[in-house]
């Protein structure tokens, strides 16, 4: 009986031993060139009366753009 208890004790100690986990960090990809993009869109839906547009461009850290929409009273708001 003592041999069985000793065997269970050894199994318990082995199971409880800390497992070594090696964590490495993956290399982070850095962009080689500054980000550049440009886009725009327009919506003109005669069924709903929805009229709006947006344009935006980016060159590195400089972003510029605007959007506009037709208000319910017919005026155009541009931001």
pLDDT over 70 percentage in the chain: 89
* Interacting residues of 69 by C-beta distance below 8 A, sequence separation 6+: 51, 52, 53, 76, 77
β-partners of residue 66 are 55
Containing domain of residue 47, as a range? 38-68
Residue 19 within a domain: no
Statement: the pTM of the whole predicted model exceeds 0.85: no
Structure tokens, 1: 């009986």
- Could you give the CA distance from residue 77 to residue 75 in angstroms, rounded to a whole number? 7
Tell me, yes or no, whether 76 lies in a domain: no
Percent of the chain with pLDDT over 90: 51
d(CA 42, CA 74): 17
Whether 22 is in a domain gets the answer no
Q: Are 79 and 66 in contact (CB under 8 A)?
A: yes
Q: Is residue 77 in some structural domain?
A: no
Number of domains in the chain: 1
pLDDT digits (tens, 9 = 90+) for 22-55: 677 778 887 788 889 999 999 999 999 899 999 9
Answer yes or no: is 53 within a domain.
yes
């Amino acid at each position: 009986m003592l041999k069985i208890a000793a065997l269970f004790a050894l199994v318990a100690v082995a199971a409880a031993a800390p497992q070594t986990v090696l964590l490495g960090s993956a290399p982070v990809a850095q962009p080689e060139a500054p980000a550049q993009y440009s886009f725009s869109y327009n919506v003109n839906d005669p069924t709903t009366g929805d009229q709006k547009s947006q344009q935006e461009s980016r060159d590195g850290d400089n972003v510029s753009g605007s959007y506009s929409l037709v208000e319910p009273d017919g005026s155009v708001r541009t931001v």
